[in-house]
Amino acid sequence: MPTIKDVARKAGVSVGTVSRVLAKNDTVKQPLRERVLKAMAELDYSPNLTARALRTNRIDVLGLIIPDITNPFFAQLAKGIEMEAAKRGHSVMLSNSHDDPEAEAVQVTALCDRAVRGIIVVATHGSQVRRAVDLPIVSLDRRYGDYALVATDHFDGSGKIADHLHALGHRKIAYIAGPMSMDVAQQRKSGFVSRIEALNTPEDPIELTLHEGHFDYDSGEEIGHRILSGPQRPTAIAAASDQLAIGVLRSARDLKVDVPGELTVTGFDDITLASLVVPRLTTIRQPFEALAISAVERLFNSAEKEPGDEAIAGDLVIRETSAPPPGAKSL
Amino acid sequence: MPTIKDVARKAGVSVGTVSRVLAKNDTVKQPLRERVLKAMAELDYSPNLTARALRTNRIDVLGLIIPDITNPFFAQLAKGIEMEAAKRGHSVMLSNSHDDPEAEAVQVTALCDRAVRGIIVVATHGSQVRRAVDLPIVSLDRRYGDYALVATDHFDGSGKIADHLHALGHRKIAYIAGPMSMDVAQQRKSGFVSRIEALNTPEDPIELTLHEGHFDYDSGEEIGHRILSGPQRPTAIAAASDQLAIGVLRSARDLKVDVPGELTVTGFDDITLASLVVPRLTTIRQPFEALAISAVERLFNSAEKEPGDEAIAGDLVIRETSAPPPGAKSL
DNA sequence: CTGAAAGCGCTTACAG
DNA sequence: CTGAAAGCGCTTACAG
């Protein structure tokens, strides 16, 4: 590999001059600059990034720590981050924490040692911040330590679902929340409940029943079964996640309850499966792109005033599982 | 950040000595070593990896270029690679080529400039290798240039499916291949066909019809429809991918053809959806882990004799979509 | 505008 | 066994 020295010799200039044309911003006179450019081309020279990093003490790499790249949601995030970083000429270093706080701590340290430009972390459950680091860090989706968080506006999204259901005419609704130990689950639930409460009037009352499960298919199926076999069957079930909702869909199929004819079902997240399932699921689409862009942006603007948390709204995606309740007047 | 110099001063030794205890292998006498260790601990020292890299001209980072991390298959691969790299104390730098040969070329160059230890690339379609690089490179799943390829043994896997179908008693089989422009599709098809041919005897003849589609749900649904509406309906349909197979499943549901009672359906890949779909799909599980491990291993052993391609066998996963043909004697 | 030189933080022969 | 010193390939004041 040719070095800056080789280029300098070939062009008959000093290494300082070569470095200056590399930096572009400086004013190297035309004739010299051309000789240098020519020499670089002929030698197929490209600067040693490691040396540059050592000298300037900064490297154009971002660190990303996520629980599991195999989770489609995180994969989407990772893709968005990689693209946004690439736009700025940065690469991204990826680590899977496997939702293990221990591993996460090690990875944060490793990234610090590599002196990356900054780190984006989707925290594990129960992650602990070891030592203070000097790098900019931003939490994404799930908060890491005390660092500012960029996340979907779960409260708002659930509210949109509530509005949608209400507008469709549903007045007998069941909500299946995620585990209350999780922030997301709480936020989604309270967004839904508070919107319903706001919509609820004495003249046009809404019946809302609350259930709690885990964010997975089986939980949805089990709870769906229970709700649908019960005496007072609701006309709509809003689930706190797509996985829950898809479980509900299964239970409905099992019990021969027609969706959306007899029952409306909604989810949250818009995982790939949501549009693959039959009928296709009405849900809230998480703003992957906006989340990724904002997180990367913060790393680059970290010099500025410490920005607070950011909640980004997701869009309501109306598909085939939501419709007016049976017997409703057509709209 | 404290440097090696600070440690040396604090311990009252030379930087060379500190460096030697860092390297471990060397013999620094006990008393000195302890003083150094103590100084490092007190200063919370960790070596500057960039400086080390510049000096030693090697960095403990692997490059990974894949078409799209959002594709579950690639995500699995990426995860395996990251874990295997971590075991060896290496990080991985991830790039999405978006199946764009142009972007891919840029990314290879970028990784070379960063002087990573080696690069694993899942090639785009029509990727072209620009200039020769001095780093070890290995192709994964899809060949990049002339570099050795580590991939699933598609031929073998399809043969296993053929065996499975034959053993169940199916003698009237349809095979839906992927697009013949793709190597994988060809290999899977020829693996299936040649196995069937081997099994075919005058006394116990097999009827095999061949179809060609794309690797997606719609294609499977469309072709499935055609096959199942035709006059000579087969008792089994082997699809070249899970997506195709799931499309077939849909068409069967549409046409009220019971799976597996009246029709056996099989896929290839074992995507997540394969075990989520109802009934759950019988398929060939790609050996993600083994693929990842082998690819990483090759990067580390690249000094040794140039190894050739490697085809790793996947396992047959028997689930609910395969059964003896209707009217078969019970086994 | 350009060159000579120092220095980023390490590692590793070379002496002793 | 340990220290002094060179050097990895850059960038950037400092002179001129």
Q: From first to last of the 331 residues of chain B, give the pLDDT tens digit.
A: 889 999 999 999 999 999 999 887 667 788 888 889 999 999 989 899 999 999 988 889 999 999 999 888 899 999 999 999 999 999 999 999 999 999 999 999 999 888 899 999 999 988 888 766 778 999 999 999 999 999 999 999 999 999 999 999 999 999 999 999 999 999 999 999 999 999 999 999 999 999 999 998 999 999 999 999 988 899 999 999 999 999 999 999 999 999 999 999 999 999 888 988 889 999 999 999 999 999 999 998 877 767 799 999 999 999 999 999 998 755 4
pLDDT digits 0-9 by tens, A88-117: 999 999 999 999 999 999 999 999 888 899
* Residues A59/A49, Cβ–Cβ less than 8 Å: yes
Whether the predicted pLDDT of A206 surpasses 60: yes
**Residue A132 pLDDT grade (very low, low, confident, very high; cuts 50, 70, 90):** low
Find the CB nearest A91 among B46, B95, B250.
B95
Closest CB to A69 among B59, B79, B114: B79
Going by C-alpha positions, the residue among B213, B248, B228 that lies closest to residue B321 is B248
What residues form DSSP beta bridges with B94? A92, B64
Distance, first Cα to last Cα, chain B: 72
For B155, list phi and psi in degrees, rounded to 5.
Answer: -60, -50
Look up the protein residue whose alpha carbon has the minimum distance to the C1' of D2: B17
**Through-space distance between the first and last CA atoms of chain A, rounded to whole angstroms:** 72
Contact, A263 vs A237, CB < 8 A?
yes
pLDDT at B30: 82
B72 touches A: beta carbon within 8 Å:
yes
Protein fold of A61-147 = Rossmann fold (3.40.50)
Residue A45 has pLDDT above 70, yes or no: yes
Whole-number Å distance between alpha carbons of B124 and B154: 19
Which residue does chain A place closest to B79, by CA atoms? A69
Report CA(A54)–C1'(C8) in Å, whole number. Answer: 5
For residue A91, give the 3-state DSSP assignment: strand
> DSSP of B143-160, one letter per residue?
--TTS-EEEE-HHHHHHH
**CA–CA separation, B2 vs A163, rounded Å?**
57
**The nucleotide closest to B52 (CA, C1' atoms):** C10
Query: Which bases in strand C are touched by protein, i.e. have an atom under 7 Å from a CB?
Result: 1-5, 7-13
**How is chain B split into domains, by residue range?**
4-56, 61-147, 154-287
CATH topology of domain A154-287: Rossmann fold (3.40.50)
- Distance between CA A73 and CA A170 in Å, rounded? 30
Res A69: pLDDT: 94
- Does residue A288 surpass a pLDDT of 90? yes
B152-to-A40, A86, B64, B79 alpha-carbon distances in Å:
42, 31, 18, 17
A15 sits in which H/E element: helix A15-23
User: Rounded mean pLDDT of chain A?
Assistant: 92
For residue A324, is the peptide bond before it cis, meaning its omega torsion is within 30 degrees of 0?
A: no
Local structure of A205: helix, strand or coil: coil
The reply to whether domains A61-147 and A154-287 share a CATH topology is yes
With CA atoms as reference, the chain B residue closest to A72 would be: B70
Q: β-strands B283-285, B315-317: how paired?
A: antiparallel
* Short-list B128, B150, B176, CA closest to B307: B150
Query: In this structure, which CATH number among 1.10.260.40, 3.30.200.20, 3.40.50.720, 1.10.357.10 belongs to the domain B4-56?
Result: 1.10.260.40
Which backbone phi and psi does A241 adopt, to 5 degrees? -155, 160
The C-alpha atoms of residue A178 and residue A267 are separated, in whole angstroms, by 12
Q: Residue B63 to residues A57, B231, B308, B312: CA-CA distances in angstroms?
A: 22, 53, 21, 22
